[in-house]
Amino acid sequence: MINRYLYNLLNAGIEQVQEDPKILDELFQDNFVLSDEELSTIKTYFAAHPPNVANGYPRNDSEFPLISITLLSDSEAETFLNEDATMLADTDDPYFGMDIKTAIWEYNYQLMVYTEHPDITAAYYEIMKSILLANLDYLVNLDCFGFSLSGSELAPDLRYLPEHLFVRQITFTCKSEFQRFDKESRWLKAFRVEGIHVDKTASNWDIGNVKSNVTPYTGDE
């Protein structure tokens, strides 16, 4: 599941920033005009309050700052003729002979940053975006592709979050192949042929006027 990949990626990125805070210097000094005091405040706050990462929306017992991962949508994006991929050809495989059906699916995830201060929310949003962009190879190695990121700020909604929290989100899109085994296909195949079929009633004309010159032993003689 893609959300588990994102969970691992974000946690690994947060740990990396904790181990090497200079990453924040490079991020904010190279891309934004921040005073030394502002940058120091971000680094100090991050060291004391690294964001937690969780799957799903915040709950009553959630600890903030928080990055929540939720599935916005997924859909079948590309299909193939009869959804055919290949047949399992390893005779030692318990699924030997089964056809693999496949399609390309597109996944859209909502990654939301919750903090108690708008400036910290903005900073953590940029950190999360940087972690995602810097680690796309991790997702490529897990057979994901077709990446797209977009962001926005969410208006407070007391139905879903406390009044004192501020939220920014990244919509993360990627594609991945989704496979399934066609178990019934195994029983529609012949993997061994025994003996020779002989039609004693056929004539040379029936087989294209070609003489086989083979006289089978039928046991009747």
pLDDT tens string 79-138: 665 555 555 445 565 555 566 777 889 999 999 999 999 999 999 999 999 999 999 999
Q: What is the pLDDT of residue 172?
A: 97
Q: 147, 9 in Cβ contact below 8 A?
A: no
Q: What is the pLDDT of residue 95?
A: 59
H runs (alpha helix) in the chain: 2-19, 22-31, 36-48, 118-134, 136-140
pTM of the shown model: 0.75
pLDDT tens string 137-159: 999 999 999 999 999 988 766 56
Task: Give the pLDDT band of residue 61 (cuts 50, 70, 90).
Answer: confident
Is the predicted pLDDT of residue 31 greater than 80, yes or no?
A: yes
Task: Give the pLDDT band of residue 220 (cuts 50, 70, 90).
Answer: low
Q: How far is the CA of 85 from the CAs of 88, 107, 112, in angstroms?
A: 10, 21, 36
Is the predicted pLDDT of residue 179 greater than 50, yes or no?
A: yes
Considering only CA atoms, which of 56, 45, 182, 189 is closest in space to residue 124? Answer: 45
Distance CA 6, CA 69 (A): 8
Mean pLDDT, the chain, whole residue set? 81
Q: 147, 139 in Cβ contact below 8 A?
A: yes
